[in-house]
Amino acid sequence: MAALGRTCLLLALAVCVYGIGASLYGARTGMAQWSDSGRRAVYALAVVLTVAFGVLEGAFLGNRFAFNTVFDTSSATTPLFYRAAAVWSSQEGSLLLWAWLLSLWSSLVLFLTRGRMREVAAYATAILLGFGGFFVSLMIFYANPFQTTSPAPAEGMGLDPLLRFPTMMIHPPMLYSGYTLCTIPLAFGMGALLARRLDAEWIRATRRFALAAWLFLGVGIVLGARWSYSELGWGGYWGWDAVENASLMPWLTATAFLHSLMIQEKRGMLKVWNTSLVLATGTLAIMGTFLVRSGVLSSIHAFGGATLGVPFVVLIAVLIAGSIYLVVSRREMLRSENRIDSLLSRESMFLLNNLVLVGLCFVIFWGTYFPLISEAFTGHEASVGAPWFDRYTVPLALVLVLLSGIGPAIAWRRATAANAVRNFTFPVAAALATLVVLLGAGVERKALAIAMFCCAAFAIASVAQELWRGTRARGSIAREAPPLALVALIRRNRRRYGGYVVHVGMAALFIGVAASSSFQHQSELNLSPGHSTRVGAYRVAYVRPTATVTPAYDSAHTGATLTLGAVLRVSRGGRYVATLRPSEGFYDSGEPSQGSVGHLIGGQPVSHVSIDGGLTRDVWSAIAPDISTPHLQHVIEVGNRTIPFVRPDEGMIAVAVMAREYMRNPPPAQFHFEVSPLVMWIWIGGAIVFGGGLIALWPAPATVRRRARALARARTAHGLARA
């Protein structure tokens, strides 16, 4: 089977090379059969890579440890669900996932645009196949997922227990879909520049893909935050980690692009800006992959070897140089058709929002790559921490949320005083009411958090007002009941109202972020069973220890051999709040030097966090049980001496003795305990954003589409008449 996989990769490379040649020739000569053939090469690539991915997935599910990647990241004791997800936990597998998703999304976009924009699509085909060929070559020459060892080992190393978390199944594919989708607008943008066809056609054709890229990337980011919060045992959801930042940067520029695009569609302005944003988003997506894959920021995230660094640097340099050359050489064709009439208009608000988003992106870029920058300038590697990021991103986020409330309510072209009074009375009143209520309720005076709550109230009120007015107008015209009218309103203009829903979701998300980061109580506790202690207004009591043995009874189904935990009772002012059951899983390390019993629990221990979630607050706890006590170590020593390594079943009996011993004489355990207000709203906000994104992404009814197309044709005719 490995041979089939390797053949598929070679075939994929051949298909890429052929396809690039065919589509470039087709684009140059205008011979449609060649560009069609190039397009079909993309379909072929998708088929070949699907087979390759299927082979690898089959190897993981079938425990074929002859495959090096399967040996490294899976084992027979890894639960089936996580074996399926382990495919993309290795360098090799994730490159294959990247290439495979790229081929699927490229096929979809080329299928949907077949017969249109022939020349642009031909160049785009060549660029997409270039990316495909790049990743396939990486696999062939640097990190082949189909590398095998003979004879096949009997058992693998197992999936890193930290990755045994349900979202592992969906987080990487989402993120990679986002990254690969980001390259599609880039390919079409470059195609349009190369073909000098700079009308709005290519933007319209790929807008949905840009939106999908934005949506998938956003969902991937939120799922990653969720994983960090409920699996990593530190209780946070965002740490300004280089890899998190890498995914946030293209998301920010994509957000900017989705807004400024509307100005280009409506007023024919900002073409240079939009094109640059599209190219930047695609390049940042590639850089994100590079950052994760290359180990360039080695002091902080040395992910294995740095072998992939050089090819990626070359690719990124080519992309940046190519983008700059294309935009500069085509600048005459990218002239704006209109000017901004007034600073108080929706256009200028969009522009401001764009500047803030790009500013945010720049801050994050600078902070993320600072170790490299500092080494280049001062010769010393240095890095900036979370406080530095916060100092700049928090004010920018405030402005952004404020703008998300102004944008929907302000008029296009020029806002008048009457317009402002009509549209902003209610949102401003909502923000002020929020301020008064918060101060009246005696909320701690943390200026930035309170400012964020007021801005969010402003943004939500502004959208609510828009929805209310639209519903009322529609209700009175079509004589529909309000709920029906609201649905009809959203259906008629999905893009607009989907966007508004996204604004509400983002406001909710920022409320959660502001509240949980400003008003969190956290504490490290060292407790013995039967004892309790105070944390803020809460009392935490360690009721009793818990212990379970063997993977079959592991409550989280992650394949832990031994799970030690505790039952915590949390109360507030004598009233019961929650019962928490944090535990820590111990895993088989497969390391003979740890002994026949020692290796069974010698792998990396992983926290199973216990959360009592609520709309107003989360009570969160993790435990670090102490297994270094003499009597537990004694069990391991005796077991190691008396039980042969080849009898893990007998070893498990020793582990069971350990568990019993732990229950009998429970030592004091270390707890990390947190009370975070409104964290839930981050996930709820994320879900609302996702819903809004889907509304905007959903195809419009046929009638609306026809109308939009007629309008576009009229605009083109108008443009031709002027030209």
Partner 1 sequence: MSPGHKRQARLVVALGAAVTLAGALIYTSFSAASPALSPSQLLRQARPGQQYQLTGTVVPHSVTRTGEVLRFAIADRAGGGGGGGGGGAVSVTYSGIVPDPFREGREVIVTVQKQGSAFVGERNSLITKCPSKYTVARPSAAPKY
Crossing angle of the two packed helices 494-518 and 386-409, in degrees rounded to 10: 140
Based on C-alpha coordinates, what's the Rg of the chain?
28
606 touches partner 1 (CB under 8 A):
yes
Residue 232 CB, nearest approach to partner 1 (Å): 6
Count of CB atoms situated within 10 Å of the CB of 89: 19
Residue span binding partner 1 (CB under 8 A) among the ranges 191-199, 231-239, 251-259, 713-721: 231-239
Q: Does 605 bind partner 1 (CB under 8 A)?
A: yes
Contact stretch for partner 1 (CB under 8 A) within 193-201, 490-498, 521-529, 686-694: 521-529
Peptide bond into 151 cis (omega under 30): yes
| Pattern 199-218, partner 1, x by CB under 8 A | --------------------
**Within positions 659 to 698, which residues make up the interface with partner 1, using CB under 8 A?**
670, 672
By the rule CB under 8 A, 519 interacts with partner 1: no
Site string for partner 1, 304-343 (x = CB under 8 A): xx-x-------------------------------x----
Any contact of residue 376 with partner 1 (CB under 8 A)?
no
The binder of partner 1 chosen from 142, 412, 426, 519 (CB under 8 A): 142
DSSP 387-419: HHHHHHHHHHHHHHHHHHHHHHHSPSS---HHH
For the chain, report the end-to-end CA distance as a whole number of angstroms: 60
Among 3, 10, 80, 300, binds partner 1 (CB under 8 A): 300
User: Is residue 583 part of the contact set for partner 1 (CB under 8 A)?
Assistant: no
Choice between 285 and 450, CB closer to partner 1: 285
Among 37, 63, 68, 283, which residue sits at the site for partner 1 (rule: CB under 8 A)? Answer: 68
Regarding 149 and contact with partner 1 (CB under 8 A), the answer is: yes
Task: Report how many residues bind partner 1 under the rule CB under 8 A.
Answer: 67
Shortest distance, position 244 Cβ to partner 1, whole Å: 9
Minimum distance, C-beta of residue 579 to partner 1, in the bound complex (Å): 23
Residue 260 touches partner 1, criterion: CB under 8 A: no
232 in contact with partner 1 (CB under 8 A) = yes
Q: Does 160 bind partner 1 (CB under 8 A)?
A: yes
Distances (CA, A) of 713 to 199, 270, 703, 708: 12, 21, 15, 9
Residue closer to partner 1 (CB basis): 187 or 284: 284
Nearer to partner 1, 81 or 303 (CB): 303
**b or e along 220-243 (b: 16 or more beta carbons within 10 Å of the residue's beta carbon)?**
bbbbbbbbbbbbbbebbbbbbebb
Please give, one letter per residue, the 3-state secondary structure of 554-617. Answer: CCCCCCCCEEEEEEEEEEECCEEEEEECCEEEECCCCCHHHCCCHHHHCCCCEEECEEECCCCE
Residue 524 in the binding site for partner 1 (CB under 8 A) = yes
Q: Does 234 bind partner 1 (CB under 8 A)?
A: yes
| Cα separation values, 675 from 111, 554, 607, 613, 614, Å | 51, 26, 18, 10, 11
Nearest to 246 by CA among 316, 345, 311: 316
Q: Which of 33, 154, 378, 664 binds partner 1 (CB under 8 A)?
A: 378
Contact call for residue 595 and partner 1 (CB under 8 A): no
SS3 507: helix
Q: Is 364 in the site for partner 1 (CB under 8 A)?
A: no
Residues 623-642 within binding reach of partner 1 (CB under 8 A) = 624, 626
Q: What are phi and psi of 341, to 5 degrees?
A: -80, -40
User: Smallest distance, Å, CB 142 to partner 1?
Assistant: 6
From the list 316, 312, 307, the residue with the least C-alpha distance to 142 is 307
Q: Which residues neighbour 237 within 8 Å (Cβ) at sequence distance 6 or greater?
A: 225, 226, 228, 229, 679, 682
Reported as type and span, the H/E element at residue 526 is: strand 521-527
Per CB under 8 A, the list member of 50, 383, 419, 629 interacting with partner 1 is 383
Considering only 122-130, 178-186, 316-324, 370-378, which stretch makes contact with partner 1 by CB under 8 A? Answer: 370-378
What distance in Å separates the CA atoms of residue 95 and residue 501, rounded to the nearest whole number? 34
**In contact, 662 and 176? CB cutoff 8 Å:** no
Q: How far is the CB of 31 from partner 1 (least distance, A)?
A: 41
Contacts of 279 (CB under 8 A, 6+ apart): 186, 189, 190, 319, 323, 326, 327
Residue 494 tokens read as 């999905």
Question: Is 423 a binder of partner 1 (CB under 8 A)?
Answer: no
Q: Is the dihedral of CA 573, 575, 577, 581 positive or negative?
A: positive
Q: Between residues 36 and 584, which has the closer beta carbon with respect to partner 1?
A: 584
How big is the CA angle at 247 (ends 243 and 253), to the nearest 5 degrees?
140
- Closest to partner 1 by CB, 425 or 670: 670
When asked if residue 91 is in the footprint of partner 1 (CB under 8 A), the reply is: yes
**Shortest distance in whole angstroms from residue 261 CB to partner 1:** 21
Q: How is residue 526 written in tokens?
A: 């060292």
Assign 3-class secondary structure to 337-360: CCCCCCCCCHHHHHHHHHHHHHHH
The CA distance from 567 to 666, in Å, is 12
Binding positions for partner 1, rule: CB under 8 A: 68, 71-73, 89-91, 94, 141-144, 147, 149, 157, 160, 162-163, 232-235, 239, 241, 243, 292, 298-305, 307, 339, 355, 359, 362-363, 366-367, 370-371, 374, 378, 380-385, 387-388, 391-392, 522, 524, 526, 604-607, 624, 626, 670, 672
